[in-house]
């Protein structure tokens, strides 16, 4: 997909009629293409080159990159920092904002700052509890929840005002997203809770890891019945997927990462394989195929923690992009390359030989 009004990297696209943001992700989704997003593992470092290197791994395979915000309540480079570095060279980013660490004053300021730096998408999250992370002594803030953050962000954009009512001169033009977990109790409430998020302003959803295709199908049926996939205020659903490294790590994730539901059948399948890592990737590709065929699903969100190099292979093999090459720095003009992309390619070559 090539946009005719392609800007100089670091500058935004024009906002099309019916769109709220100048970003690529919203355009791809509204054009009805199957979108692919992924997330960057933010460095424990102040090195900008490291961020660019980690982004280059996904060049040509994803429509937007999530910058996680202290995910799992662990401390890393901030999501605004990561987004700012990436948007400078033109990448489409999704700014994750978790309510765990900041109050409403900080969060509204951050939305303005991130939008000014070119972040076009904001994912509003509640966030994991501090007990899950490396600083359990920290004060959990939770001044807002993801729902009220969505409402506040929407009012900032559409009504040009802070929650206090004070005016904003130039509003943040952001496409608003939220997370949902269709796989944990209360299961029958989850579709309604999604409806509530849409009412609060969510325009796209990235789900928790999906390893249970039946539950995903049921969820989509109900979401469709609630009328959330039609009309100008429709929501776009991107299903979370990722390769499991082994049966052991699957068990560990199930027991230790809040909210990840992995059925026994998945673990048995991995255990039965002589190459569990390979099988983990195969499973992910099978799920991606199945997810693409669920009516109403608009895309996939690949979370391949510590297996980032496998994203390219998974996308390539499954062909979900149908020949589309999402924009990346240097796609149309080699002079605009991400300065760190050479090194990333070298590493990628290495990891492919590793896997074979």
Partner 1 sequence: MVTIRHWAVRHARGLERFYRGFAQLLARLDPLWRRLGYSRLEAPVARVEHAVKGLLFDCRMCGHCVLSDTGMSCPMNCPKQLRNGPCGGVRANGHCEVEPDMKCVWVEAWEGSQRMRHGDRIHAVQLPVDHGQQGSSSWLRVARELSHDADPSPVQR
Binding site for partner 1 (CB under 8 A): 99-100, 104, 126-129, 131-132, 140, 142-148, 151-152, 163, 179-181, 184-186, 189, 192-193, 195-196, 199-200, 208, 258-259, 261
Whole-angstrom distance, CA of residue 275 vs CA of residue 277: 6
Whole-angstrom distance, CA of residue 299 vs CA of residue 35: 4
* Shortest Å distance, C-beta 318 to partner 1: 26
Q: Which is nearer to partner 1, 154 or 277 (CB)?
A: 154
* Shortest Å distance, C-beta 192 to partner 1: 6
Contact yes or no for 60/32 (Cβ under 8 A): no
* Shortest Å distance, C-beta 164 to partner 1: 11
Q: Which is nearer to partner 1, 173 or 196 (CB)?
A: 196
Q: Which is nearer to partner 1, 33 or 197 (CB)?
A: 197
Whole-angstrom distance, CA of residue 115 vs CA of residue 170: 10
* Shortest Å distance, C-beta 86 to partner 1: 25
Q: Which is nearer to partner 1, 39 or 151 (CB)?
A: 151
* Shortest Å distance, C-beta 2 to partner 1: 36
Q: Which is nearer to partner 1, 126 or 348 (CB)?
A: 126
Phi, psi of 161, rounded to the nearest 5 degrees? -145, 150
How many CB atoms sit inside 10 A of residue 309's CB?
A: 19
Q: Which is nearer to partner 1, 53 or 222 (CB)?
A: 222
Its sign, for the CA torsion 335, 340, 346, 347, is: negative
* Shortest Å distance, C-beta 28 to partner 1: 25
Q: Is 104 buried (19+), middle (13-18) or exposed (0-12) by CB count in 10 A? A: middle
* Shortest Å distance, C-beta 35 to partner 1: 21
Q: Nearest to residue 325, comparing CAs of 2, 91, 78? A: 2
- Provide DSSP, 304-345: -TT-TTHHHHHHHHHTTTTT-----TTSS-GGG--TTHHHHH
Q: Which is nearer to partner 1, 14 or 185 (CB)?
A: 185
Residues contacting residue 201 through CB under 8 Å, at least 6 positions apart: 150, 151, 153, 154, 176
Q: Which is nearer to partner 1, 10 or 72 (CB)?
A: 72
Exposed e or buried b for every residue in 204-225, given b needs 16+ CB within 10 A? Answer: bbbbbbbbbbebbbbbbebbee
Contact yes or no for 295/34 (Cβ under 8 A): no
Whole-angstrom distance, CA of residue 320 vs CA of residue 62: 11
* Shortest Å distance, C-beta 153 to partner 1: 12
């Amino acid at each position: 997909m090539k946009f005719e009004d392609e800007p100089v990297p670091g500058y935004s696209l024009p906002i099309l009629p019916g769109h709220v943001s100048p970003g690529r992700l919203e355009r791809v989704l509204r054009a009805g293409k199957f979108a692919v997003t992924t997330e960057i593992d933010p460095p424990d470092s102040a090195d900008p080159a490291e961020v660019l290197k980690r982004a280059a791994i996904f060049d040509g395979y994803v429509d937007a990159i999530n910058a996680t915000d202290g995910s799992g309540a662990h401390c890393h480079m901030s999501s605004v920092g990561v987004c700012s570095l990436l948007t400078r060279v033109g990448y489409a980013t999704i700014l994750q904002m978790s309510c765990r660490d900041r109050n409403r004053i900080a969060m509204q300021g951050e939305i303005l700052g991130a939008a000014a730096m070119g972040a076009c998408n904001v994912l509003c999250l509640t966030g994991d509890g501090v007990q899950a992370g490396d600083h359990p002594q920290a004060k959990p803030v939770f001044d807002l929840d993801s729902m009220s953050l969505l409402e506040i962000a929407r009012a900032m954009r559409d009504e040009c005002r802070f929650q206090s009512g004070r005016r904003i001169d130039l509003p943040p033009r952001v496409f608003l997203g939220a997370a949902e977990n269709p796989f944990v109790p209360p299961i029958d409430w989850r579709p309604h809770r999604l409806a509530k998020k849409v009412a609060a302003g969510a325009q796209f959803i990235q789900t928790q890891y999906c390893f249970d295709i039946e539950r995903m199908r049921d969820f989509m049926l109900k979401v469709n019945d609630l009328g959330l996939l039609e009309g100008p205020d429709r929501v776009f659903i991107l299903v979370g997927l990722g390769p499991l490294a082994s049966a052991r790590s699957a068990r560990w994730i199930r027991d230790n990462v809040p909210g990840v539901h992995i059925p026994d059948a998945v673990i048995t399948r991995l255990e039965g394989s002589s190459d569990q890592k390979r099988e983990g990737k195969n499973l992910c590709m099978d799920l991606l195929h199945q997810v693409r065929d669920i009516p109403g699903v608009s895309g996939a969100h690949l979370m391949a923690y510590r297996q980032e190099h496998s994203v390219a292979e998974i996308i390539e093999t499954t062909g979900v992009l149908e020949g589309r090459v999402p924009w990346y720095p240097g796609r149309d003009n080699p002079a605009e390359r991400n300065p760190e992309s050479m090194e990333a390619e070298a590493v990628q070559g290495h990891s492919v030989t590793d896997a074979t």
